[in-house]
Structure 1
Amino acid sequence: MSMCEERYGSGSVSHRYTANKEQQFEKRLLQHSTYFAIRKFFLSAFLPHGYPDSVSSDYLAYQIWDTVQAFCSSITGTLATHAVLKGAGVGDGSASVLAATMTWLLRDGTGMVGRIVFAWLKGSSLDCDAKKWRLFADILNDIAICLDLVAPLLPSYFVAIVCVSSISKSIVGVAGGSTRAALTQHQAKQNNMADVSAKDGNQETLVNLTALLVGLVMMPSVAGNLLLTWILFVCFTGLHLFANFKAVSSVVMSTLNTSRLQIVVNHYLETGEIGSPEYVNQQESVFLGWPRIGSINIGVPFGSVVASVADLNSLLHSNSNDKFILNIKRSSIRVTLHVDAVDQDIIQCCYQAAVVRAILCGVNATANSRTNATAADLLQKMKLLMKSDGGHLSSSDALKLVHLSHKYTQVASDEFLHLLSTRGWIFSPSLLGADEWRCSWSRAGVKVD
Structure 2
Amino acid sequence: MDADKLLQAVSGSAPQSRWHGNRISGSIRRARSGRHGVHLHCCLQTEEKRHHDSKSCKATFLTETRGRDSKTYTLDSQGHLLLQQESRSDTRGGNSVLTGLKGFILPKGYPDTVTPDYLPFQLWAVPAHITGWMGTSLATSSLLKAVGVANSAEGAAAASAAIKWITKDGIGAAGRSLVGGRLGDVFDEDPRRWRMVAEAFLTVGLALEIATAFSPTNFVLLAGAGNLSRAAGRGMTNPSFRIIQTHFAAANNIGDVAAKEEVWEVTAQLVGLAGSVGLLKAIEATGKPENVLYVWAVNQIAHAWLRYKSLAVLQFDNINQKRACLLARASVSGQALPGVQRGNKEESILAWPSLARPSLTFATSLEDMFSATASSSGIQDLCDMYTGQNYLLTWQSRRCRVILEEHASPEDILLAVWQAAWLDHKGVGDATKRELQASIDAVRKQGPAFIHELRRGGWQVGSVTIRTGQVRFKRHDEVDLAPIA
**TM-score for both structures, normalised by structure 2:** 0.60
Q: Contact between 1:148 and 1:162, CA under 8 Å: does it hold in 2?
A: yes
Describe how 1:289-438 pairs up with structure 2 within 5 A: 289=352, 290-291=354-355, 294-298=358-362, 300-307=364-371, 311-321=378-388, 323-328=390-395, 331-356=398-423, 359=424, 363=425, 382-383=426-427, 386=428, 393-394=429-430, 397=431, 400-438=434-472
Q: Distance in 2 between matches of 1:400 and 1:165?
A: 56
Q: Distance in 1 between matches of 2:267 and 2:292?
A: 24
Q: Distance in 2 between matches of 1:326 and 1:240?
A: 43
One-letter amino acid of the structure 2 residue matched with residue 191 of structure 1: N
Q: Residue 337 of structure 1 aligns to a residue in which SS?
A: strand
Q: Is the aligned partner of 1:254 residue 2:317?
A: yes
Query: 1:274 maps to which residue?
Result: 337
Q: Residue 334 of structure 1 aligns to a residue in which SS?
A: strand
Match of 2:172 among 104, 111, 117: 111
Q: Distance in 1 between matches of 2:169 and 2:366?
A: 41
Distance 1:128 1:107, change over 3 A: same
Q: Distance in 2 between matches of 1:98 and 1:437?
A: 54
One-letter amino acid of the structure 2 residue matched with residue 282 of structure 1: K
Q: Residue 337 of structure 2 aligns to a residue in which SS?
A: coil
Q: Residue 408 of structure 2 aligns to a residue in which SS?
A: coil
Q: Contact between 1:132 and 1:287, CA under 8 Å: does it hold in 2?
A: yes
Q: Distance in 2 between matches of 1:402 and 1:309?
A: 11
Q: Contact between 2:411 and 2:461, CA under 8 Å: does it hold in 1?
A: no
One-letter amino acid of the structure 2 residue matched with residue 343 of structure 1: P
Q: Distance in 2 between matches of 1:280 and 1:322?
A: 27
Distance 1:102 1:400, change over 3 A: farther
Match of 2:347 among 284, 292, 297: 284
1:409 Cα deviation after fit:
1.1
One-letter amino acid of the structure 2 residue matched with residue 236 of structure 1: N
Q: Residue 427 of structure 1 aligns to a residue in which SS?
A: coil
1:417 Cα deviation after fit:
0.9
Percent identity between matched residues is 18
Q: Residue 328 of structure 1 aligns to a residue in which SS?
A: strand
Q: Distance in 1 between matches of 2:462 and 2:216?
A: 52
Q: Is the aligned partner of 1:97 residue 2:149?
A: no
Aligned-residue CA RMSD (Å):
3.2
- Which sections of structure 2, spanning at least 5 residues, go unmatched? 1-143, 481-485
One-letter amino acid of the structure 2 residue matched with residue 138 of structure 1: E
Number of residue equivalences:
326
Q: Distance in 2 between matches of 1:422 and 1:237?
A: 41
Q: Distance in 2 between matches of 1:97 and 1:401?
A: 74
1:183 Cα deviation after fit:
1.3
Q: Is the aligned partner of 1:239 residue 2:294?
A: no
Match of 1:158 among 219, 229, 238: 219
Q: Distance in 1 between matches of 2:457 and 2:357?
A: 29
Distance 1:250 1:135, change over 3 A: same
One-letter amino acid of the structure 2 residue matched with residue 262 of structure 1: C
Q: Is the aligned partner of 1:263 residue 2:326?
A: yes
Describe how 1:177-192 pairs up with structure 2 within 5 A: 177-192=238-253
Q: Residue 333 of structure 2 aligns to a residue in which SS?
A: helix
1:414 Cα deviation after fit:
0.9
Q: Residue 271 of structure 1 aligns to a residue in which SS?
A: coil
Higher helix share: 1
Q: Distance in 2 between matches of 1:215 and 1:304?
A: 54
- Which sections of structure 1, spanning at least 5 residues, go unmatched? 1-84, 364-381, 387-392
One-letter amino acid of the structure 1 residue matched with residue 302 of structure 2: L
Q: Distance in 2 between matches of 1:119 and 1:192?
A: 25
Q: Distance in 2 between matches of 1:309 and 1:246?
A: 44
Distance 1:414 1:228, change over 3 A: same
Q: Which moved more, 1:117-126 or 1:129-138?
A: 117-126
- C-alpha offsets along residues 297-351 of structure 1, whole Å, 9 cap, x if unaligned? 3363333212499553232233223532222356532212222223332232233
Q: Distance in 2 between matches of 1:172 and 1:344?
A: 34
Q: Which moved more, 1:216-225 or 1:314-323?
A: 216-225
Q: Contact between 1:350 and 1:432, CA under 8 Å: does it hold in 2?
A: no
